[in-house]
Structure 1
C-alpha cells in the first residue's frame, strides 16, 4: 500500500485511535536510514524493522511506563545499539556470502553438486521477490553482463558493501560532472535553472541544473546537485545552498543567468545570490516561461471554475460521490460538464469489473480508459478532455450499459469540450515542447508570447459575437487568461539588458528584421539595437585582447624586397570589429539553428559569437529540471520505504503520462470556434444599431461637442502615446507603464 493508505489504515486501528505517531515527520538522525517504520496487523502497534537483519523493535516514538508512574518515549538508543549487536552484523555477512554464492559457486562445491536449471530459476525468483524487483530485470542486458563478468573471474568476486557502492556512485558522478564542465570554453558563462521538490515522504530537495554551450557549440545540460533542504525555504537559505554548490564546482564567478519559477522566494534568492558574488558577476534572473504559460491557463480555467481541487486522482467511489454526480447533472455550466468527465473517470477506474467492461467496448487494439485531472500536474485538464474526446462513443455506450445517465454528456456539452480543447491546446503544445527540447530556447520567448496573444485575441473576437451564456462565460475566461499573460509580458522589459530582445536577434532566422515589422515602432527598434551594442562591448574588448595575444605570439617575417612589401598587402587594415553589428544584424535572415550558424560564423563575427554563447545558454524554462525529478521520485521512494509500497504510480498517473506522450493524435479532431454554427438555444438578439463607417482622415475634423447622427457626442481623437500598437491589438509596454493598455 502507499504511504498515505498506510497512515489511513493505521488511524483506524486500536492503537491509532488512542495514540498519535508522526509518521510523516522528518527524521534527521542517520539511524533512521537503517530502519523501516511498520505496525502490527492486529492492533496497529507501531514498530520498526531493521533493514539488515529484519528484526522487529519497539518504535522510538511510542511511550513506555517508568518506575515513578509516568511514561516516556523509548528514543533511538535501542535501535542504535541493535545495529552493533553480533546477530545483526552476522546477518549482513550472511547476505554477502549468499550473493557471492549466487553469482558463482566455488569449484569444489560445483563439482559435488550438479547444476540444475530448475534450482537456478528458483534462486533467481527468490532474489527478485525478496528484493521487490521486476521480473523483466532478468532480460536486461546489464544484468546479463554482470553475471557473465562474474563467471569470467578467476576467483569468486568480492561483493562490495552498500556504503562502498554509494561512495563509488558519488565518485563517478563527480568525475563525470568535472569532465563535462571542462568543455566550457575559457571566459564563457554558464546559466542555472533550479527547482525545489518534496518526496512522497516529506523530504525536501533542490535540483540545480547548469546549461552552457561548449567549445564545439553543443548545448550542454548538467545536474550540478540534488541538495536536501531543511527548515523554512527562504530565498536567502536557498541562495546559500546554491552558492555552496557553485563553489563546489568552482564556477561561482561564471554564472550568467538564473531561470526559476515565479515564487516570491526565488526573487529573494536572486538578490541574495547577487550580493554574495563578486561585483564583476552580474546575474540576470529569467522567469520560467512554461510556468507563466501555466499561470495564464490556470487563471483562464479558474474563471469558469474548471480548476481541479484534488492533488491526486480519486481512488474510491462512494455514495456521496454518487449523489454529487446526480446533483451535478442538473447543472448547465461548463464546470458541470468537466465534473461529468471526472466522475465517469473515477467510476470506471475504481472497479476492475467496470474497467474491464470499458475495455471490451473498444474495438481498437490498444485499450485506454478515461483519466482525471489534478491540480499538481500541468495540462492535466487538457489531457483529461482530449482522452474523453477520443472515447466519446465509448462514454455513451458505457453510460447506457451501466444506467448512469447522470454522467452522459449531451451534444452541447461535447461542444463545450471542443471549445475548451481548442482554447487550451496551444498552452499544452508550448509547455510540452519547451520542456522536451534539448536545444537552446532563449530566442523563442517573444515569438511564443506573440503566438499565445494571437490565439487568445482571435478566440476572443470570435466569442464576442456569441450570445449563449456558456460562451459568454468562456469569453470572460479568455479575458482573465489574457490579463495574466499580460501581467508577466509587461515585465519582459524590466529584465536586465533587454535580454529577450538580444536573444531574439541572435537567432539567424530573426536578426534585426524581427523588429522591422509593423509590430514595433522606431523607439523600440532603437532601444533594442542600443541594448545589443551595449551588451557586445565587453565581448569586443575580449576579442581585441585575444587578437593582440595571438599576434604577439606569431613571428612575422620581414619582406625581402620593396616589391615583396608592396605585394604583401600587410598595410591594408582589416575591417573593424564595430562593423560586426551592421554586417550581422542588417544582413538577410538565414533559416538555420542558432548554434549551427554560430559554429560556422564564429570567425567572421567573433565578438557576437562570444555574446551568443553566453546569452543563448539560459533556458527559457526550468521545466526540464522538473522532468529530471520524475525518475528521482521513483528512486527515493524505493530507497526509503520499498517494503511498505506495492506500487509507485497510480493507474491514472500512468494513463496521463501516456496521453501526454501522444502529442498529436490523428483520431482526435479538435474543432475550432465556429463563426457559422447555428445555436437553437440562443436567445434572439435585440437589433443592433448600425453605425456608418467614418473615414479615418475625417475623424479629427469632427468637433468634440457635435453629436453624431445617433445623438451622442463624438469621442475625441486619442493622443499619441509612447506605447507600441501590435498588429494583434496589443501594445508594447512603455517604460512608465505597469500594465498594458487596450483599444
Structure 2
C-alpha cells in the first residue's frame, strides 16, 4: 500500500511510495523483518503501524499558516488603531515610492502578520484596495489643505517650475507659501501636473489656473510669484493675473512677478564662464546633445580654452567603466593620499555651481590627471586625449577661475534656505557686483604682466559680461520694486526695504 519490495541482487529492499510522492530521498531499507519499514512509515510519514491509517500531519506549518492560526484566536483590534495603521501605511507608500504589488508579496505579509497576527483580517490582498486607500488619503489631505488656504492670514504666494521627468514627460510642479492662523510660515506642494503641447506662457498659466481653482484660491488671495527668469514665466504670470485679478494694471501685475535670486546668480556665473553669447552656445550644445552628435559637442567646447579642455577630458575619462577604473588605479600617495580615490565631477548646465565643483575636484586630483594621459592607450576608433591635455598655463588659469567662482558659490548659498528674505536680494547682488568688478581688475593686472596671453583678455570680457548681467537684473528689479511696499501692505515691514533702498548702487556692504 505504502511501498513495495524490489530486488537488488542479492538482497530485497523496500521502496517507499510516500517518499517517492514527496520527492524525498529513498532510504531503501534491507528487508530482514518489518521493524525498519514500520518505524520509517511511523516516524517519517506518520502512518500508524497497527491500522495503517495516516495520522494527522505533524509537520511544521508555514509562517503564514501559524500566523493565521494566531489571528483566529486574536482578532481584537481597536478601530482607532486600524485607521492609524492605514494612515501610516499610506504615508510610507507615498514617501518611499512603494509599488502597490509589494503588498501581494508573501514575505512582506508574513512580516506584518508576525508583528501583529490581527492584521490578517485588515491588510487587503488586492492592489486596487491599496490604491483606493492612497486616493482617499489624498482627497482628505487636499480638502484639509483647501481649508488651510482659505483661512490663511496672508496672501498666498506661488512658485512653479517645469522640468522633464525620466519618462520623459513635461512636468510642472507648483508650490504655495503663506502664513497660517498660528502665524507660522507654511510651504506645501499644491500639485504636480503634466503639461501637454508647447511650453508657452499661456499653456503653463492655464495649468496653474486650473490648480488654483481646485483649491478655491481667488484673486484677492494671490500674492507674489517667485520664479526663474524664463520669458515664458513672465507671460504665464501675466495670463494668470489677468484671469484672477482683472482690476490690476499692467504695472501692478509686473510688480507681482519676482525673480529667483539663485537663478540670477547662476545666469551671471554662466556669463562669466562663457561670455556674452553664453545662451547661444548653450542652445547649440543642447541641440548637439539631443542629436547625439558628440563630435560637435567636443569641438564646441574647445572654444572655451582651459574650461573646454577640462570638460572634454573629464567626459572622456568618465565615459566608460574601463577608463574610470584606469583613473581610479592611479595612486599618488604621500600628502595627497586623501585625494587618491576621488572621482572626477562633470559640469552640468542644469546644476548650479557644477563648474565650481568640477574645477575644485580637478585641482585636488591634478597629479592624477597629469599622469593619466601619459599612461593611457586609446582604444580602436578613439581619437585619444592629445587635444585635452592641461599644461601649466591651463592649470594656472583654472586656479584663478576657481577663485572667482567661490564668490558665485557663496552668493548661491546665501540665497538658499528659509532664513533668507527679500531684504537679502539687493544686498547679495550688490556684493556680487563688487566681487565681479574686483575679479575683472585682477585679470587686467595679470594681462598687463602677460600681454602675450589672449586668455586674460577673454576672461576680462567674461567678467564684464557677468557684471553686465548682474547689473541688468539689479537695475530692472530696483526700478520694478520702487514704491511697492507702501502700495502692497500685505508684506511685513521687517523685510528691510527701507534699509535696502538707502544703499547706494555701488556701496560697499560690510
Trace 1:448-597 onto structure 2 (pairs within 5 A). 448-465=428-445, 466-467=447-448, 468=450, 469-495=454-480, 498-499=483-484, 510=496, 512-516=498-502, 519-520=503-504
Aligned residue number for residue 395 of structure 2: 414
Q: 1:344 aligns with which of 295, 313, 331?
A: 313
Q: Deviations along 1:90-129, whole A, 9 cap, x unmatched?
A: xxxxxxxxxxx9993476899xxxxxxxxxxxxxxxxxxx
Which has more helix, going by share of residues? 2
Partner of 1:611: none
Contact 2:153/2:179, CA 8 A, preserved across alignment: no
CA drift of 1:234 comes to 2.6
Shift of 1:250: 1.9
TM-score (norm 2): 0.64
Structure 2: unaligned runs, 5 residues or longer: 1-60, 71-96, 103-107, 332-336, 378-384
Larger-Rg structure: 2
Q: 1:389 aligns with which of 352, 356, 363?
A: 363
Q: 1:431 aligns with which of 412, 419, 423?
A: 412
Shift of 1:230: 1.4
Give the structure 2 partner of residue 726 of structure 1. 506
Aligned residues: 385
Would the alpha carbon gap of residues 511 and 298 (structure 1) be closer, same or farther in structure 2, given more than 3 Å must change? closer
Following TM superposition, by how much is the alpha carbon of 1:430 offset from its aligned partner in structure 2, in angstroms?
2.8
What is the CA deviation profile of residues 7-29 of structure 1, one whole-angstrom value per residue up to 9, with x for unaligned ones?
A: xxxxxxxxxxxxxxxxxxxxxxx
Aligned partner (choices 187, 192, 217) of residue 226 of structure 1 = 192
1:292 and 2:267 aligned: no
Q: How does 1:30-45 map to 2 (within 5 A)?
A: none
| 8 Å contact kept, 2:63–2:110 | no
Closer/same/farther in 2, CA of residues 478 and 440 from structure 1, 3 Å limit: closer
1:399 CA drift (Å): 2.7
C-alpha distance 400-227 of structure 1, shift in aligned 2 (>3 A): same
Structure 1 match to 2:137? 172
Distance 1:474 1:196 in 2: 33
Work out the CA distance in 1 between the residues paired with 2:190 and 2:126: 26
* Counterparts of 1:417 and 1:398, CA distance in 2: 18
Q: Is the 8 A contact 1:443 1:507 kept in 2?
A: no
Q: Residues 171 and 254 (structure 1 numbering): CA distance in 2 closer, same or farther, change over 3 Å?
A: farther
* Conserved 8 A contact 2:171-2:193: yes
Q: Do the aligned partners of 1:104 and 1:150 also contact (CA within 8 Å) in 2?
A: no
Q: Is the 8 A contact 1:311 1:375 kept in 2?
A: no
Question: How far apart in 2 are the matches of 1:485 and 1:422?
Answer: 19
Residue of structure 1 aligned with 2:112, choices 147, 166, 172: 147
Q: Distance in 1 between matches of 2:110 and 2:65?
A: 17
Deviation (angstroms), 1:370: 1.3
Three-state SS of the structure 2 residue aligned to 1:196 is strand
Tell me the secondary structure at the aligned position of residue 338 of structure 2: coil
What are the equivalent positions in structure 2 for 1:437-452 lying under 5 Å apart?
Answer: 437-452=417-432
Q: 1:144 to 1:340 in 2, by over 3 A?
A: farther
Preserved CA contact (<8 Å) 1:299 1:480: yes
Distance change >3 Å, CA 209–CA 445, structure 1 → 2: same
- Give the number of the structure with larger relative contact order, counting CA–CA contacts within 8 Å between residues 6 or more apart: 1
* Shift in alpha-carbon separation, 1:154–1:187, aligned structure 2, 3 A: closer
Listed as ranges, the gaps of 5+ residues in structure 1 are 1-100, 111-131, 138-142, 521-724, 730-743
Deviation, structure 1 residue 406? 4.8
- 1:269, distance to aligned residue in structure 2 (A): 1.5
1:353 shift after superposition:
3.4
Tell me by how many angstroms 1:508 deviates.
5.3
The Cα shift of 1:158 comes to 4.4
Question: Does 2:369 align with 1:402?
Answer: no
